[in-house]
Every structure is written in C-alpha cells, then in structure tokens.
Structure 1
Amino acid sequence: MFFLVFVITIVSFLNERSQGTLERLMASPLRRGEIVLGYMLGFTVLALVQAAEVLVFALAILKIQNHGNVLLIFGMEALMAIAAVNLGIFLSMFARSEFQAVQFIPLVVVPQMLLSGIIFPVSSEPTALQYLSNVLPLTYAVNGMRDIMVKGADLTWSALQLDAAVVAGFCVLLIVAGTATLRRRLG
C-alpha cells in the first residue's frame, strides 16, 4: 500500500505543478500550509479507501489470521498512508518531470520496503542496516501492524504507542517540510 500511495501522490502532485494548478492556488488567499494540507487530505481519502480494501481483502478473502482490533489495524494503515502521501508531496517538489519523480522509488521507497521488516526480519540484517532500519518510519508501521495482528496489541502497549508516535511524527515533519519546500520552490 505504501508504494502505490506514494507513486500516485508524487505523480499527481507533480502534474498539478506542471499544469499550473498549484501556481493558481498559490495566487489565492490560501496559505501554503493550507494548500499542502488540502492536497494531503484529498490524497489521504483515496489512500484510506485503498487501505480499507486491502484490509477487507486480507481478512475476509485471504483469511489472514488476526489477533487484534481491526480498527487499530486500520489506524496504523491510515498512518502509513498519510506518511506515504506526505513523502510523495515533499519529494515531488524536487522533480521536474514524471521520469524524475519515479526515480525516487528505487532511492527512497524500495530501501524502506527492503529494510523495514516487510520481507525479512530487521534482526537478520547486518548491524549497520539495522541502525538504518530504526530510522525509517515504515519500520515502525510494520512493527505496529505485526504487534496488532500477531500479538493482539492494544493501545495500552507502550511499543505500539511508540510505533504510532514515530509514524505520526514523521507525518508532521513531512507536512512542515512540504510546506517549507513549496514556499521555496514556488514562492
């Protein structure tokens, strides 16, 4: 889900810039932060629909075993989706074409997917890569999802609280960075 949401966001936001829509919005009385939040909310709604579809498919069709609260799973999916949206908006500011935007996939998204514990455990990585993994927000999202679905974690678990806080903090950081970058690139 992280991958698809990121790609859709970065390409769509880049198209908004290249078609002049973003510049027209910048001429409106809206502040840059409001523009970024508006785009973020729009892309996030689409991402949440996709997250719900993935969750229903995984639990109802694939019958993936779940020991946790479905709403908590969806909440962690929502945080992942918001992180992917904000990462896409932020990185789109550094690309001038779709080709350049897509180049961020092997540079930013694939390493996160490989190092976050989705494919193989972080504990099996070399020590240096484990340190890098512990900086990546997707690692915390994966840990949170695993804790909920496999261990039945709830909101009283400090590990789950930490995972959610790190991903949420990353989202806030990217909103601020996206707003500042928009200001520099267009302002």
Structure 2
Amino acid sequence: MKFLRDTWLVFQRQMQLLLRNPVWVIVGITQPLFYLFLFAPLMSKALGQGRPLSQGETYQLFVPGMLVMVALFSAFSGFGIIAELRAGVIERNRVTPVSRVALLLGRSLRDVVQLMFQAVLVTLLSYPFGLRIAVGDAVLAFLLVGLMALLLSSLGYALGLALKSEDAMAPLLNTLIQPIMLLSGILLPIAMGPAWLQRLADFNPFSWAVSGVRALFAGHPGDDSVWQALAILTPLTVIALIVSSRTFAKSVR
C-alpha cells in the first residue's frame, strides 16, 4: 500500500510540473503532426503496391507507425533526469522515505500519460482524413503503445543516471533509435522490403509492435500479431522496470 501511495505522490508531482510548463508536450506532438499532415498524403501510391490506396486506407497504415514513433521518443526522458541530477533533486530524494522504485515509476507513468494524450490527439486528427477504428481496438492499441512508452521511459532514466551527461547520451540514443525506427516499418511496412530485411526486422521487438498496432487499426484484434506483440513487450517491460529501478535505487541510496 505504501508503494502505491508513494508512486501516486511522485506521479502527481511530476504531472503538476508538466502542466506548469507544457512546452515539452507541444514540442513532442509537433513532429508527428508534421508527418501526419505533410507526409502521409504522399504515401497512398507507395503503400498501395500497384494501386493507389484511398486516403482512409493510407492513414489506417500510417497512423499506427506514427504512434510507435512517438513511443520511441520516450527514451529521451533520460535528459530530464540528468537535469534533475545537476539541480540536486536526486540528492534531496535521498533523505525522503519515499520508495526508490516509486521515484522511477511515478516519473515513467507521467511519460505514459503524456504519450497517451499525444496518441489520442493524433488518432482524432486523422478522422477527417478517413481513419476509422473501433473504440475497443483503439484502447488495446493504446495499451501496446503505453507498454512501449513505459519500457523506453524507464530505460531512458536508467541511461541518464548511468551517463550523467547530455553530451554522451544524445549521440548514443540517436545511434540506437535510428536503426530501431528503420527496422520497425514505421513509415513503410517491412513486408514491402526484401527477405533479408524482413528477417532482420524479426529481431526488433518494435517491429512486432507496429504489426500488432496496425492489425488493431485494421479492425483485426484477433490477429496473431496482436498477442505476439503483447507477449514480447510485456516481459521486456517488466525486465526494463526491474533493471531501471535498481539503477535508480543505487543513485538515491
């Protein structure tokens, strides 16, 4: 019970800080909206593989990739923890009785809520372009995206605590995120690529996630790719939380 209360208190505090300065929410949603309005309309012929897709069909394929792309940027949460280290916030956490795991989880849940807002906004803004998805399918798709955000956010915090420098973290994250994005089929489905690229993408868990979210947006919640994505992301998220929690606990011990 104390752990849940501590997590709620940290989450509340982090949400208050976010709402006082929502610039990061605005910055985080700007790039996906640019892709949504200025890039997605160009994809109907490329995605059609022989026949141009309708606008609705294009967004049905493109929006799930956008949501996963936004989730991948959750890894950059580590920059915030570096700033807190420099400001002495983590140092002051050492004298509090709050659970060390709650200090991490409360922050990560704030990042998940922020992502959910962005995901819902992107989905709603796609409706005028012909996107249609059932409420139940949308909720399950957002659950998958939320798992990715929790996984990457917690790892981002652990990485920030380990490196303690934006100069070291920025190139490392860019080096890691770029191939993950390209092998996820975010902009174009991996199925359109050669066989060797598809086999390589099989080792990328976020490629499975994109396939699962696309199946849900297509109205196929019973598709194998949905439960496969859940089966892959759930244990990875648990492992990431355990590793990150230990890193966080050592930093504020």
The interval holding the TM-score normalised by the smaller chain is 0.7 to 0.9
The answer on whether the counterparts of 2:100 and 2:252 sit within 8 Å (CA) in structure 1 is no
> Could you tell me how far apart the structure 2 residues matched to 1:20 and 1:126 are?
51
Change in Cα spacing, 1:115 to 1:11, as seen in structure 2 (3 Å) is same
Which amino acid is the alignment partner of residue 43 of structure 1?
Answer: D
Which amino acid is the alignment partner of residue 149 of structure 2?
Answer: A
Alignment partner, residue 4 of structure 1: 73
Q: Which has the larger radius of gyration?
A: 2
Deviations along 1:61-104, whole A, 9 cap, x unmatched?
43335478222222222223223322322221232222222223
Deviations along 1:122-176, whole A, 9 cap, x unmatched?
342563x5455333331121011111123x222x444311212211222211111
Which amino acid is the alignment partner of residue 167 of structure 1?
Answer: L
> Could you tell me how far apart the structure 2 residues matched to 1:126 and 1:185 are?
44
Query: How do 1:64-83 residues align onto structure 2 when only pairs under 5 Å count?
Result: 64=131, 66=133, 69-83=137-151
Change in Cα spacing, 1:22 to 1:65, as seen in structure 2 (3 Å) is same
Alignment partner, residue 164 of structure 2: 96
For 2:184, which of 104, 113, 116 is the aligned residue?
A: 116
Alignment partner, residue 92 of structure 2: 24
SS at match of 2:162: coil
CA offset at residue 26 of structure 1? Answer: 2.8
> Could you tell me how far apart the structure 1 residues matched to 2:177 and 2:171 are?
10
Change in Cα spacing, 1:5 to 1:63, as seen in structure 2 (3 Å) is farther
The answer on whether the counterparts of 2:91 and 2:252 sit within 8 Å (CA) in structure 1 is yes
Report the structure, 1 or 2, having the larger helix content.
2
Alignment partner, residue 172 of structure 1: 238
CA offset at residue 12 of structure 1? Answer: 1.2
SS at match of 1:93: helix
Change in Cα spacing, 1:50 to 1:165, as seen in structure 2 (3 Å) is same
Which amino acid is the alignment partner of residue 129 of structure 2?
Answer: L
Alignment partner, residue 147 of structure 1: 215
Which amino acid is the alignment partner of residue 160 of structure 1?
Answer: V
SS at match of 1:12: helix
Query: How do 1:48-63 residues align onto structure 2 when only pairs under 5 Å count?
Result: 48-58=116-126, 60-63=127-130
Structure 1, unmatched stretches of 5+, are none
For 1:159, which of 205, 218, 225 is the aligned residue?
A: 225
Structure 2, unmatched stretches of 5+, are 1-69
Alignment partner, residue 23 of structure 2: none
Which amino acid is the alignment partner of residue 119 of structure 2?
Answer: A
Which amino acid is the alignment partner of residue 79 of structure 1?
Answer: L
The answer on whether the counterparts of 1:55 and 1:74 sit within 8 Å (CA) in structure 2 is no
CA offset at residue 186 of structure 1? Answer: 4.8
CA offset at residue 112 of structure 1? Answer: 0.8
When normalised by structure 2's length, the TM-score is: 0.63
SS at match of 1:69: helix
By relative contact order (CA 8 Å, sep 6+), the higher-ranking structure is 1
C-alpha RMSD over aligned residues: 2.4
Alignment partner, residue 114 of structure 2: 46
CA offset at residue 185 of structure 1? Answer: 4.4
Change in Cα spacing, 1:22 to 1:171, as seen in structure 2 (3 Å) is same
> Could you tell me how far apart the structure 2 residues matched to 1:132 and 1:184 are?
36
